[in-house]
Structure 1
Amino acid sequence: MMGDQKGFLTVIVVAVVTLLSCCSPASSFLLPRVTRTSDAIIIDYDGLGYAPLEWKYGNVAKLGFIPMSSSFNPYYAMMYGQEQQPMMFDAAAFNVGEQGVKQSITTTTPPAIQCGRGPATMPAARSPINERIIEGVSAKKNAWPFMVYVSISSKKCGGVLISDSKVLLAAQCLERFTLFDTLLSSTVSIGVYSIDPLDAQMTRRISNIILHSQFNAASFANDIAIITLDAPVVLSKTVVPVCLPPESTDPDQYADQDAIILGWDASEVLQQGKVKIASNVDCKNMQSISQYVSDTTICLSSTTVFPCNYDMGGPVVIQSSTGAWTVVGINSYVTPDCDASGLQTRVSAFSAWIDKYMKLKK
């Protein structure tokens, strides 16, 4: 009986929402704002009034709005080889007098936050149990503080934090969802090791989605997207954005370099695998992916580690001379049996696009 009542109530709620969104001019707030630019499709959910996260997870603390660091630069560590010390607004030091006049504003310098914090050295290669990243080598907890786990309805994807409010991932992670899927079923887990949202250090909803306008689901071209979180996260030693690579038109920019691929496929804890980045020519000679290879993609060379389904959207990272970790690839295409090198979006080919939409506040 209770199940019948719940089912009836669900039908009523869906019917009312549908009726309001279709027939009432005053209820247009139920629909997201969609904007198309020359190189992006922006879907803005901000202000739609969805249920706050504590309704589902019972953690009000995870929802607090945190003033964002306007001076954070994800390229800083690579450009200057040192840690940046961003100035943060100190809300406690802001005073307003009886006449509503600002009396004092002070800033404090928190512990230095450097993009790309991770293992001090390249993790050693170890043979996984099978030939996939899944069932492979479990990463240490908090080893990769820029990793993000995105869940929308039944779709699961990895991603990387690129600022205190932006996440970089594959466009395919966000396609083919209804308004209610994205609005009501989205969870972005930050500071995450296990896929359980309750184990995340912070959990957010999606405020807006920025898809590359030339994304092609058939060819995996331009498979890149940015999501904006509904509130900035608190940066710390265990929650840090990844560094971004400088712009380059060279598809072999990182060829033959060691890299780490990260993901969760078929595992409840984060997995890591050491690989080499292949040359563009070698990628084109790989039968499993040759038809999708372009100057804006990279692929990996490994006989033991291959990406699989839930590794989509996750990163391929390299370690710079400064020790900082930089995202150079986004997992895009995997073979049906996850038994060969997949294809990754080459991040440096989209640096200008990323810069442009990282500046978008909403």
Structure 2
Amino acid sequence: MRQETSTPPAPPTTSAIPMSVDRGRFADAVTPWEEEEWRTAALAWAGRALDRHGLRETGTREVRVRPWSILVRFRTGPGERDAVWFKAGAPDNAFEAPLGDALARWVPGHVVTPLAVDAERAWSLLPDGGPLFRNVLDAGDAGPDSWARALAQYAHMQRALTPYADRMTALGVPDARTARLPALFDALVADNPTLDPAARRDLAAGRPRLLDWCAELDAYGVPDSLDHCDLHDGQVLAPATGRFTFFDWGDAAVGHPFGSLLVPARAVLERYGPEHAERLRDAYLEPWTDLGPSLPELRRAAALATRLAALGRAASWFRLFPGTPTTGCSEASAHWVGELFAETTVFEDAAA
């Protein structure tokens, strides 16, 4: 980012702006960040967008390089919240940029509104959206009741998005509707090199149960919507008391909305106990109670959907920049495929 000066005659050149680069555990990741031409173009695009919004850089650019995305935090003032974020996604999650732009129009108030989007290049520039929900939880300023309010708001957002399911898949969001899950399962099993013959046989033996679960879930008639697929407390912002914003849609899919419960329900179960996970589920389900199914039927649908959501988690491990080593990805994907047939799920009754 640009260093603070007193009334500079002209903005400093990109080369004069200090940067820190965090690669985390992924030093061997192959990303466009290593390409000078791409890096120059991306930073220049972000700089022009900042200028259009009357923003100036005031500190070091903080770069985070991961196998699935590149983030650059631009400081724009002295405060912790004085920042904007550039994000570039891998080809398989390139839909995130146009999806974020569309969500800001379809469900304003529930998502972060981009400052700029280049859909063709999968680039977004996003404002700071407020404190992470995770940090609010860790500080003791929120708890399981806040999780319940967040999931109820998220469910209302999903209800509002049901008319846009086909438009979202047209933007490139993966189609993981229930009828497509058996084919997704077959591909995940066939293409995973870490599965030995015995594991493949065991998974194949469970396939009839998968078909039964899909048929039963479809019969409840809940309309398809956007599934975040990784809705943990680091993907939720808490800009104001009782209000939440949902972001980071790179793992998302269009499918049964109740699959979104998997990740937050597991988190609440682990942190607060089963009674709070059940309250979370019922708070989430309340906005869907006018559809016709009874509450016990909706609970059953939630149990089925959270079991089937393991397939979405398994598929998301391969949305990486081309050339990046997939070490660990196949193993993680295989783990999630195996979770499909676990003896119990987060709500325990889906294997019945």
Is TM > 0.5 for Structure 1 vs Structure 2? no
Using the size of structure 2 for normalisation, the TM-score is 0.26
Which structure dedicates a bigger proportion of its chain to helix? 2
